[in-house]
Structure 1
């Protein structure tokens, strides 16, 4: 299981290094997830592989990973309150953009099938 955790952290590190070297405007962990996806597609680990077991443990305790984000929101509540309208507009616009993108993809893929 330790090997699986090291593999997850190594993919995140590779993603961060790629972003630092290229200046790609995407967070390093996102690039690391793409790297992890590529590795998992290439290697096809079994259900008892370390990466699969570690990811299962992390998913079981996913709610704990939201605690730092919640603390950050509470810590900056006065700043968020001051900019509530632009933040609200950005949230609604990004939600709508995501909804339209998913709808377009479902429509496109539905026509193919």
Structure 2
């Protein structure tokens, strides 16, 4: 019964996200699952629900996440004829976006580290520059 209650909370926020996504579809496209996760995050953060109310079900879902990729894999295989003509374009796009994302994340991390070092006040006799 405990697992059913926990799944209820997760599915409730997922459903609310889908409803909000459908209402906002005419002016912005945000997936309902993303909105639901954000709502669940805020509900946990502001303690509207406790972590114990979703912990076991959430852990089980993330431990078995591979199951959720099966439909996407089947979709790729069933549309292989479409992908066969454009595989090289997709490969180039994936390589370029991966490199760009790695560079972007690296710059962000460097900026955050610099800002953290700048805001750190050295104690007496301590030198931050090693």
**Which residues of structure 2 form unaligned runs of 5+?**
117-130
TM-score relative to the length of structure 2: 0.74
SS in structure 2 at match of 1:39? helix
Residues 2, 50 of structure 1: 8 Å contact kept:
no
Query: What residue number does 2:20 align with?
Result: 18
User: Runs ≥4 in structure 1, deviation > 3 angstroms?
Assistant: none
Does 2:46 match 1:42? yes
CA RMSD of aligned residues (A): 1.8
C-alpha change, 1:38 and 1:61, in structure 2 (3 Å) is same
C-alpha change, 1:70 and 1:34, in structure 2 (3 Å) is same
CA distance in 1, matches of 2:107, 2:84: 34
Query: What residue number does 1:29 align with?
Result: 33
* Greater RCO, 1 or 2 (C-alpha within 8 Å, sep 6+): 1
**Which residues of structure 1 form unaligned runs of 5+?**
none
> Which of 1 and 2 has greater Rg?
2
TM-score relative to the length of structure 1: 0.84
How many pairs align?
Answer: 111
